[in-house]
Structure 1
Amino acid sequence: MTNKVGAYDWNQAVHPETNAANDFKLNDEQADVYRKLGFGAVLTQQPDGIARGTAALVTLATAGHRENEVILTERAAAGFSFDKGSSTQNYPGSLMGSIALLRQTYLDADWYKRNPGKEQNLSLQAWQDQRNLPQIFEVANKLNALRADKLGDEFKTQYIIKGRGDEYQRIADIKATGASFVISLNYPTLTTWTTCTMPHAFRWRN
């Protein structure tokens, strides 16, 4: 059982009640990095857990401002992953367990919605309240992107998938998901090939 005190989910990795806006602190040095890249706002979220709660949309014009002046949208999206993060519980201890936990939480939340007043669960209530927000799912690789999309299809949820840049290796399957992807602009270094004088041989260089 969870060590978290209060009427929350039984698993510490599931904490949709977390609201990034509550813990947001200005960091002008970090904001300046994004400003120099041409960004004017970012989505900020606690990168921890399987159900991570809500992300806040904040402007990067931080100099001379306070937190309450730069938050544009307090609850802009809901976040998910297969990584249990800082939870001290043994479960889930595998990818299969993470998928099972997410599926069970969807079912629990549906039960909670159909049975008002049976119990008070702040986590399940927050989960339901966030269903209409953009749903962002962070994955570790292309295969987990496909797994996340399949999970979303089961519960009629279209995730926005935050990928790792290897999605091109399964591009047909990735395209078939119909999902929007958030991909890093740090592209991998390409390997270039040049021919040698010996027929049918190649050499490569980075």
Structure 2
Amino acid sequence: IEAVGNDITEPPDAVVIDLGGKFIYPGLIDLYTHYGISENLPEAPGSGSLNWNIAVHPERNAAEIFKPDENEAKALRKNGFTSVVTFPRKGIFRGYGTLVLLSDSSPNEAVLSGSIAQSISMHERTGSYPRSLQGRMALIRQTFLDAMWYSTAWEAYNKNPEGQNAPDTDLSLESLQPLTEGVRPAVFEAPDVPDIYRASMIAGEFGLNLWVRGCGSEYRRLKSVKDSGVRL
């Protein structure tokens, strides 16, 4: 913005649009989408420096796999949205979301900010362990416990490396450090109201900055949802 007011001179390269009788308002931001993210991302078993479970890939970042979708962007802009946070699909630990513009520019130009928050699902089914909700909850807790151990192990090694072997590098656990340190939020999908309480329990246990993607039925248990203190 170069100038605001009456009787101002437009820059010579400006495009003049007559907005008489219209309103100007800030563009809306959708905080949870899969815009520009393919549904066919491979889910190979973890190996080397990645997690052993195919449903745990928090190291993924939407900024690295995002491709603008002209038709979808146009539809969103028509409804007043100018930017979205887009997350990787699939998995229990799905990866980090990225804030992108709904523009016709290249992926690099559309990305405004990477690693906004980590997406976590308690209901993603895989062809192997875990196949039950109880198992998925256990895997989420164990993964956070492993991430905290990993941080402690590296801290101990860096303080006194002499005579010690360095811990094995694990990019999946390393990528969860911003969550366990409270630097980045964890976004839990909650397709039903009890999932809100489950997410709140996990967040309380590990000190997470919790966001919840709600289901639209929270009004049925409004007081208990409010008392949980979660951000929907």
Q: TM-score, normalised by structure 2?
A: 0.72
- 1:88 aligned partner, one-letter code: G
For structure 2, the residue ranges without an aligned partner over 5 or more in a row are 1-43, 155-165
- 2:229 aligned partner, one-letter code: G
For structure 1, the residue ranges without an aligned partner over 5 or more in a row are 182-206
In the alignment, which of 160, 173, 189 is matched to residue 211 of structure 2? Answer: 160
Residue of structure 1 in register with 2:96 after alignment: 54
The answer (yes or no) to whether the contact 2:61–2:97 under 8 Å persists in 1 is: yes
Residue identity (%): 37
Cα root mean square deviation, aligned: 1.5
Residue of structure 1 in register with 2:127 after alignment: 88
d(CA) in 1 for partners of 2:219, 2:130: 29
1:103 aligns with 2:141: yes
User: How many angstroms does 1:78 deviate by?
Assistant: 1.1
Deviations along 1:75-115, one digit per CA (max 9) or x if unpaired, are 11111110335x432x1111111111111011111110111
Residue of structure 2 in register with 1:186 after alignment: none
In the alignment, which of 177, 194, 210 is matched to residue 128 of structure 1? Answer: 177
d(CA) in 2 for partners of 1:147, 1:7: 29
Deviates most, 129-138 or 69-78: 129-138
Residue of structure 1 in register with 2:110 after alignment: 70
Q: TM-score, normalised by structure 1?
A: 0.81
The answer (yes or no) to whether the contact 2:96–2:116 under 8 Å persists in 1 is: yes
d(CA) in 1 for partners of 2:47, 2:208: 30
d(CA) in 1 for partners of 2:150, 2:178: 12
User: How many angstroms does 1:130 deviate by?
Assistant: 4.5
